[in-house]
């Protein structure tokens, strides 16, 4: 760690300690609730910002017991996204609220009906629902009628006895679908909707095809991909 980074980290840690002490001194909150126990990942006897942040995340954010999955078929950043998705650590409005941020609303940006949380954005929201339906028709395989939670998509893939080539194609499609649903949601938040809903399905087919072309020995031709991807 550079001296600059170390200085910034120490300043953040000092601010956290000062905030906790201020709360403790106010007497408004029982002392036992302020006894934050940070696991020391380096076993060096010091308190690190990374450990403090992880302890706060672990105590405030939902967690998943799902195993970490890592596949060479999809790009690194998509693997990281999938990992964060399964852990439910994406920055949704509800996760921000759980972390203690004061936010104006926790309503879904896309439909303004459901909550801005993982399983709504990626499964139940109107746009997600429409996209999954189109994926089912395109792939022409018996997908479950609906996934209850996002992990269900991965459970379903893991439980199949399909050959590796077919599993690879399905994984690429599922990953691309989830990725473009995230991009669509984030684009509405940050870019005011430059990604159009009508383009999502095409983008999913393009991304999943490009990933297979670049990384899989089971890469299909574009014509095959459009007509009979599995
Ligand atoms: Zn929605």
Band the pLDDT of 15: cuts 50, 70, 90. Answer: low
Q: pLDDT digit string (tens) for 190-207?
A: 998 899 999 999 999 999
Q: How far is the CA of 133 from the centre of ligand 1 (A)?
A: 16
> Residues 31, 24: contact at Cβ < 8 Å?
yes
CA pair distance 106, 99, nearest whole angstrom: 13
pLDDT at 120 over 60: yes
Specify if 67 maps to a domain: no
Specify if 97 maps to a domain: yes
Q: How far is the CA of 123 from the centre of ligand 1 (A)?
A: 9
Q: Residue 173: exposed, middle, or buried by beta-carbon count in 10 A (0-12, 13-18, 19+)?
A: buried
Q: How far is the CA of 126 from the centre of ligand 1 (A)?
A: 6
Q: pLDDT digit string (tens) for 42-63?
A: 666 666 656 655 555 555 444 5
Q: pLDDT digit string (tens) for 83-107?
A: 899 888 898 998 888 888 888 889 9
Q: What is the pLDDT of residue 218?
A: 85
Specify if 70 maps to a domain: no
pLDDT at 28 over 90: no
Specify if 10 maps to a domain: yes
Specify if 42 maps to a domain: yes
Q: How far is the CA of 149 from the centre of ligand 1 (A)?
A: 15
Q: How far is the CA of 49 from the centre of ligand 1 (A)?
A: 35
Both 103 and 128 in one domain: the answer is yes
Q: What is the pLDDT of residue 104?
A: 87
Closest CA to 209 of 222, 198, 218, 190: 222
Q: How far is the CA of 180 from the centre of ligand 1 (A)?
A: 15
pTM (two decimals): 0.70
What mean pLDDT value characterizes the chain? 79
Specify if 202 maps to a domain: yes
Both 163 and 197 in one domain: the answer is yes
Both 52 and 126 in one domain: the answer is no
Q: pLDDT digit string (tens) for 121-137?
A: 999 999 999 999 999 99
Q: What is the pLDDT of residue 172?
A: 94
Give the residue numbers spanning the domain of 175.
76-227
Both 111 and 163 in one domain: the answer is yes
Domain boundary among 30, 60, 90: 60
């Amino acid at each position: 760690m550079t001296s600059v980074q170390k200085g910034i980290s120490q300043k953040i840690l000092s601010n956290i300690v000062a905030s906790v002490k201020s709360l403790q001194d106010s007497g408004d909150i029982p002392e036992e609730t302020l006894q934050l126990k940070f696991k020391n990942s380096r076993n060096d006897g010091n308190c690190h910002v990374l450990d403090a942040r992880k302890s706060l995340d672990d105590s405030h954010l939902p967690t998943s017991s799902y195993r970490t999955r890592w596949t060479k078929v999809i790009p690194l950043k998509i693997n990281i996204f999938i990992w964060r998705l399964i852990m439910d650590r994406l920055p949704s409005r509800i996760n921000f609220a759980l972390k203690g941020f004061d936010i104006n609303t926790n309503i879904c940006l896309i439909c303004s009906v459901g909550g801005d949380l993982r399983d709504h954005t990626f499964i139940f929201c109107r746009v997600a629902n429409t996209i999954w339906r189109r994926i089912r028709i395109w792939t022409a395989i018996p997908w479950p009628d609906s996934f209850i939670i996002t992990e269900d998509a991965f459970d379903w893939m893991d439980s199949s006895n399909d050959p590796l080539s077919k599993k690879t194609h399905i994984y690429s499609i599922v990953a691309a679908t989830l990725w473009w649903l995230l991009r669509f949601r984030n684009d509405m938040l940050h870019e005011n909707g430059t990604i159009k809903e009508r383009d999502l399905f095409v983008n999913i087919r393009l991304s999943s095809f490009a990933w297979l072309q670049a990384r899989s020995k089971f890469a299909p031709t574009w014509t095959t991909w459009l007509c009979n991807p599995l």
